[in-house]
Amino acid sequence: MKPAAGLCGRKTAQGPALVLVFGTLTHVVLSSASWFAHSAEGVASGSSGYGGYAWITAAFRGRLVPACLGLRGPDVGLSALKLGPSLANEVLKGTVTDFPGFDERADAETLRKAMKGLGTDEDSILTLLTSRSNAQRQEIAAAFKTLFGRDLLDDLKSELTGKFEKLIVALMKPSWLYDAYELKHALKGAGTNEKVLTEIIASRTPKELTAIKQVYEEEYGSSLEDDVVGDTSGYYQRLLVVLLQANRDPDGAIDEAQVEQDAQALFQAGELKWGTDEEKFITIFGTRSVSHLRRVFDKYMTISGFQIEETIDRETSGHLEQLLLAVVKSIRSIPAYLAETLYYAMKASGAGTDDHTLIRVLVSRSEIDLLNVRKEFRKNFATSLYSMIKSDTSGDYKKALLLLCGGEDD
């Protein structure tokens, strides 16, 4: 609980004093176990010990406001309202697969022809490269070198420009090297791009993070963890490091007693505490299994009357808040989190399209779960990803993005 002045600091033998505001009328209510136990909502839980608090916050959230908690209102973002499907029951599918009848030499010749002489045949380049898997693109690059003694990536860079060039270059990078490259550039130079660090590290599985770390060290000669430590600070740094350890518990049988214990620990570390015990959030969010955390989030709602996202919104701030929310959203559903990321990349108020994010998400998820991302996008935003890309981009860049997107969703 973030500290506040006035009655919030007073406690009685019966419990904490809550200031409830309804319109202009302010009431002071002394909580007591017996009063809350008979609530009409029946939310009070004898086992939790915090049933009364849960009832009052759940029943009156958005109208009767516990003023001492410093609530910012009921609107805490999409994920607290629309939760993605459980990935345990969802088959992940990308929009790009191996091209049937693949011939790397023929493709290399097509690309050479598209870039040779006056002008460049952008249509041939984008149509070919968006329809081949990443592994096939690497074979094409090797064949291009063998046949013509030239570096395909260098030729593409010299022939293309702008956002279209950035997209094609991203497509040509080996899968995990692309994530490693994005992380390196988020840490490189003046300032740190915490948005990129947060998105990638929060949404990758432990196996994916292990692969990214290995490629990063091979490519750049330094440890990703060391570079993150050198460029970030505080609890934000601490959670990034815990996630990069890739030591999240494997999914398996769920221990309901541990679920209850973790939910209670989070409640006591935030809503029931002056200040916030960030370490408790970091330990639980960074090490527990996905299936366990989903149950913890449900139990937390039962105990506290809040979605965990609401508590994070109140109890933390800045880069740590954004990272904790990204972890929660990814635990609930990675495709739903990435759909939200894409939506706001194109819906940035007054700032134009965030093409960097648009390219990164479409390229990195095209062979993993982009069809699932499309489904979540359509469900949550009253439009399709395809339609939004079509209206928000232009030229060869738009054509290539739409091909990667893979089609319209009615």
Q: How large is the average pLDDT for residues 109-124? A: 95
* pLDDT computed for residue 39 by the predictor: 34
pLDDT at residue 18 is higher than 90: no
pLDDT at residue 44 is higher than 70: no
pLDDT at residue 123 is higher than 80: yes
Domain limits, the chain: 104-160, 175-245, 333-409
Report the CATH fold assignment for 333-409: Annexin V; domain 1 (1.10.220)
pLDDT at residue 53 is higher than 80: no
Q: How large is the average pLDDT for residues 111-130? A: 96
Report the CATH fold assignment for 175-245: Annexin V; domain 1 (1.10.220)
* pLDDT computed for residue 19 by the predictor: 32
Do residues 92 and 369 touch, judged by C-beta distance below 8 A?
A: yes
The tens digit of pLDDT for each residue in 354-365 reads: 999 999 999 999
* pLDDT computed for residue 9 by the predictor: 33
Q: How confident is the model at residue 89 (pLDDT cuts 50, 70, 90)?
A: low
Does this chain's domain 175-245 share its CATH topology with 333-409? yes
pLDDT at residue 204 is higher than 60: yes
* pLDDT computed for residue 32 by the predictor: 34
pLDDT at residue 26 is higher than 90: no
Report the CATH fold assignment for 104-160: Annexin V; domain 1 (1.10.220)
Q: How large is the average pLDDT for residues 18-25? A: 32
* pLDDT computed for residue 312 by the predictor: 96
pLDDT at residue 94 is higher than 70: yes
What's the chain's average pLDDT?
82
pLDDT at residue 332 is higher than 50: yes
